[in-house]
Structure 1
Amino acid sequence: MTEAQVREARRLGGMSLRSRVLVGFAAIAAVAIVVAIAVTLSTAAYQVSQLDDRLKSFAGPELMDQPVQELPVSPRDEFARPSDAFRGYIGSDGSAYVFFAPNIEDGAQSLPSIDVSQLDPAESTYFTVAAEEGDGEYRVLARPAGDGWDITALSMDAVNASQQRLILIEGVGIALILAGLAIVAGWVIRLGVNPMRRMVDASARIAEGDLSVRLEGVGTGSESAELAASLNAMIGTLTDSLAERERSEARLREFVADASHELRTPLTTVLGYSELHRRGALADAEAQDDAWGRTEAEAARMRRLVEDMLTLAKYDAEPDLTLRPVSLADLAGEIVANAKVAYPSTSFEFTGGTATVQADADRLRQALLNVVSNAAIHGGPHVSVSVLPGPDAVRVTVSDDGDGMTPEVAARATERFVRGDGSRQRATGGAGLGLAITAAIVEAHRGTLTVSSTPGQGTTVTLLLDPTHGVAGEGSTASQS
């Protein structure tokens, strides 16, 4: 996905994760403010309701039909009972009578300011008015009485102070909540959203082909860090796979080129002699016998080459091995004895060692014979074979004192069509498939083959075999005899 496609996906997908986080925290803050307002209003309504109940208690019995002259008028200084309530009477003409005023120490010193036009001549009325002096307020109960209204009032100072304290507490609480939400939002965005955004940008670069990019998480053990580590491991595996694919393709191209080269020479020889025979250039019997002999030799070379490649193909696909206990000492001794006859100019020695492994005797004989023959042809005048048993693996080594190889050539000695001398001359040996076939056989037995060589000091080939397990890979098949 290119960067333009990423931007288009963001546009079509609506809000980003960062926006969703901010909107979510803003919604929480809005809910907190609404709840605070609702608590404040409900608390104020409850306190005013309690104040109204007190007003009704202070007001006493209804005085609807009593004339003003018969109302219980008491001078303020003669009322001995401590009280924070105001009691009085207002006539319809606006004349006011004070029965008693608040006389406790913290009571309001100013009287309520009442407008006659606010009063209902038929029903009792609760309302709030300001004080005549100062900033105070009164809650008033006005009841029709005679030719006016019986007035009972209580100061709202305590209620207002309580509401102010509640508003202050809620304001501080909401401020702390908003600050906490801001910190949490920033923390979530820094640890969760920002790393994800960087990962998206890095993924876009990877999608464009830049496999050197690596993702970066935040913290240790966080989800973003774990995700980044997992994706980096995946990218590393993908990079290694692509590199291995390129190497495999390069080896395949080299294999095809080498196979073509190996087949081209004998084919050219066969076709050349066929052409000479067709034109009648081989007149005498001696020339014909020589031509047919060379043709047969080149055809046999092609057959061996094709058989070797088929053998490698079989081991690459699914080797079919017949496993049974094989004595490596007997096998090595037999091969050394046969080699002395086949290569009389080379001195062979079996230095000893005994071990038994589960293996296919014929295949293992072919592998060891390939190594010994290769040492006789390309190595020095002396070749030694040894068996070294171990608790976990058995080593079979074949060493020669020849010219050796460079480390670069030795590292690729088991690859197909690779020769130690780097030439294509028939005198130097075969097509370079011997060690490749040997390595395939050893790997089929869950072993490894290594080549160690130093120019001028000879070459040592080591077959490392598992003494208990004989077949490598789940895809291989084997029969136990």
Structure 2
Amino acid sequence: MRRLSLRARLLLLTAGLLLTGLTLVSAVVSDQLERFQLDRLDGQLRSMTELISRAAGPPPAENPAVRPDLLDPALELFGTPYVVYLDAGGAVAGSLHSSRAGGATLPSSGTLRTVPTDGTAVDLSAADGSQRWRAVARPAARWGGTVVSAAPLAETDATITQLRVSSLVAGAGLLVALTAAGWFALGRGLRPLRRIEHTAAAIAGGDLTRRVPVLAPPGTEIGHLAASLNTMLGQLEEAFAARAASEARMRTFVADVSHELRTPLFGIKGSTELYRMGALPEASDVDEAMRRIDREATRLTALTEDLLLLAQLDEAPEEQLDRAPMDLRTLAGDARQDLRALDPSRPVSLTGPGGVGAPGPAPVDGDEARLRQVVTNLAGNAAAHTPPGTPVRIGVGTAAGRAVLEVVDEGPGMTAEQADRVFNRFYRADRSRSRSGGANAGLGLPIARSLARAHGGDVELETALGEGACFRLALPLPARD
């Protein structure tokens, strides 16, 4: 069975509550009106009965001297169309009744005897059952009998019936009118939810840029809902974009790793195939092939260790460090000697940060072996990507509340696009540059930045095309006791 819409369910609930309310109000009003009319009639009957019960005696059962033209107005004045005198044995000793009430429409004598004489009003039925009567009885004061006063309830019943019919008709009309108004009001009130539904459908179809429009003031429930949904949608779009970027990086990473591993593996396999085919007849050829295999195996080992280190730094960077107090001046001096050993013609100067003054103290709480690896990578990058003889400056000291070691070269520099990607894994600004000994696989700078961030710092780059490059290792100073 198809479930009803929210609009229909709300309308049915509202209509049901309205119908219940109208029914209760109609029942209470009709009951109060009936009680009021009965109380008024009972008061008239008690007054009439009390007055007649003190009279001298009952009139004869058949009294032709009574004139209907005088009796009817008198009885109507007291609101008692029927008065009966019962003797001590319960027989009718006399009666007075309006000319409009007579015969079978009057209560029978048998029912009159059942009326209690304490003044309590009771309901009686007409002899022919055509209508109801209200009766009150009192004992006579001057003779041994009972006086019973009765009045028909036809007018009261007609009034109550008319009230109930009017309430039913008016309530039905009001219910129909309010139900129609509620249908349109609910449609207008739920319109923002339909727009939210359409937005959600568009997003489910793949349009992650869609947002819920401003449907209501921010302080309303719909406004809060729209704001919360837009915040959630923004986070979802960012999450999907991050996932897509991560997948793209993973595909690039896998392709680059495959390429980097395939090159040395092909060299090793090619050398072994030449040996197996007997294409290396001389001992010198075999020695050369073994040297090639050893070189490619060294590249594979270095690449594997770099990949393992990156994976460990991604998973738990702090666990890869063995911290101890140290000073970056030691690493700066060693880097200066390494650059001079690689290229004796290259001028290498040692200064303070920014090239100002002499080298200053740069105390840090770090892993010396890992930080030495960072500085070695930065110095090797300067040596590999600048022409021989290009001056290099190594600055060390403290700046802006941090320990700083910077490697500055006067080489060709990089474009903004290259600078943005230089810390990406396996990225090489010049892919045509030959690699030797496992170097230039595109992992040196990513490893350097990961190690720096594991220490709570970073590796920063300032460069421009034709203006050289400045790689700056910045680490937090040790906390003072």
TM-score (norm 2): 0.70
Alignment-mate amino acid for residue 376 of structure 1 = A
Going from structure 1 to structure 2, the CA distance change for 1:175 and 1:453 (only over 3 Å counts) comes to farther
Measure how far apart 1:198 and its partner are.
4.2
- 2: CA distance, partners of 1:162 / 1:393: 95
User: Could you tell me which residue of structure 1 aligns to residue 333 of structure 2?
Assistant: 333
Measure how far apart 1:285 and its partner are.
4.7
- 1: CA distance, partners of 2:273 / 2:186: 84
- 1: CA distance, partners of 2:407 / 2:188: 63
- 1: CA distance, partners of 2:404 / 2:182: 64
Check the 8 A contact 2:362/2:403 in 1, yes or no. Answer: yes
Going from structure 1 to structure 2, the CA distance change for 1:170 and 1:85 (only over 3 Å counts) comes to farther
User: Could you tell me which residue of structure 2 aligns to residue 404 of structure 1?
Assistant: 413
Going from structure 1 to structure 2, the CA distance change for 1:464 and 1:140 (only over 3 Å counts) comes to same
Measure how far apart 1:197 and its partner are.
4.3
What SS does the corresponding residue of 2:45 show, helix, strand or coil? Answer: helix
Measure how far apart 1:431 and its partner are.
1.3
Match of 1:376 among 346, 369, 383: 383
User: Could you tell me which residue of structure 2 aligns to residue 362 of structure 1?
Assistant: 369
1:58-88: CA deviation from partner (whole Å, max 9, x where unpaired): 4232588422669999998xx9x9x963677
User: Could you tell me which residue of structure 1 aligns to residue 107 of structure 2?
Assistant: 120
Measure how far apart 1:115 and its partner are.
5.3
Going from structure 1 to structure 2, the CA distance change for 1:140 and 1:400 (only over 3 Å counts) comes to same
1:97-137: CA deviation from partner (whole Å, max 9, x where unpaired): 99xxxxxxxxxxxx99545542235256989xxxxxxxxxx
* 1:268 corresponds to 2:257: no
- 1: CA distance, partners of 2:248 / 2:266: 27
Going from structure 1 to structure 2, the CA distance change for 1:84 and 1:446 (only over 3 Å counts) comes to farther
The farther-off stretch of 412-421 and 328-337 is 328-337
Match of 1:455 among 450, 465, 472: 465
- 2: CA distance, partners of 1:378 / 1:463: 18
What SS does the corresponding residue of 1:419 show, helix, strand or coil? Answer: coil
Going from structure 1 to structure 2, the CA distance change for 1:333 and 1:112 (only over 3 Å counts) comes to farther
1:248-295: CA deviation from partner (whole Å, max 9, x where unpaired): 222222223223333333333333333444444444454444444344
> How many residues are paired up?
425
Match of 2:313 among 300, 312, 315: 315
Measure how far apart 1:30 and its partner are.
0.7
5+ residue gaps, structure 2, are: 85-94, 113-121, 125-132, 141-146, 353-359
Superposed counterparts of 1:66-215, under 5 Å: 66-67=59-60, 85=78, 114=101, 116-122=103-109, 190-191=188-189, 193-215=190-212
Check the 8 A contact 1:403/1:457 in 2, yes or no. Answer: yes
Measure how far apart 1:34 and its partner are.
0.8
Superposed counterparts of 1:299-314, under 5 Å: 299-314=297-312
What SS does the corresponding residue of 2:414 show, helix, strand or coil? Answer: coil
Going from structure 1 to structure 2, the CA distance change for 1:396 and 1:183 (only over 3 Å counts) comes to farther
Measure how far apart 1:157 and its partner are.
11
User: Could you tell me which residue of structure 1 aligns to residue 395 of structure 2?
Assistant: 386
User: Could you tell me which residue of structure 1 aligns to residue 356 of structure 2?
Assistant: none
- 2: CA distance, partners of 1:455 / 1:291: 41
- 2: CA distance, partners of 1:72 / 1:87: 16
1:146-181: CA deviation from partner (whole Å, max 9, x where unpaired): xxx998879999999999999999999999999899
Measure how far apart 1:450 and its partner are.
3.1
Match of 2:422 among 385, 390, 413: 413
Check the 8 A contact 1:32/1:174 in 2, yes or no. Answer: no
Moved over 6 A (4+): 70-76, 87-91, 139-143, 149-189
- 1: CA distance, partners of 2:266 / 2:164: 106
- 1: CA distance, partners of 2:363 / 2:99: 117
Measure how far apart 1:373 and its partner are.
1.5
- 1: CA distance, partners of 2:33 / 2:283: 132
Check the 8 A contact 1:211/1:239 in 2, yes or no. Answer: yes
TM-score (norm 1): 0.70
User: Could you tell me which residue of structure 2 aligns to residue 101 of structure 1?
Assistant: none
- 2: CA distance, partners of 1:300 / 1:433: 16
User: Could you tell me which residue of structure 2 aligns to residue 22 of structure 1?
Assistant: 11
- 2: CA distance, partners of 1:21 / 1:307: 67
Check the 8 A contact 2:393/2:409 in 1, yes or no. Answer: yes
Measure how far apart 1:32 and its partner are.
1.6
5+ residue gaps, structure 1, are: 1-10, 99-110, 128-138, 470-481
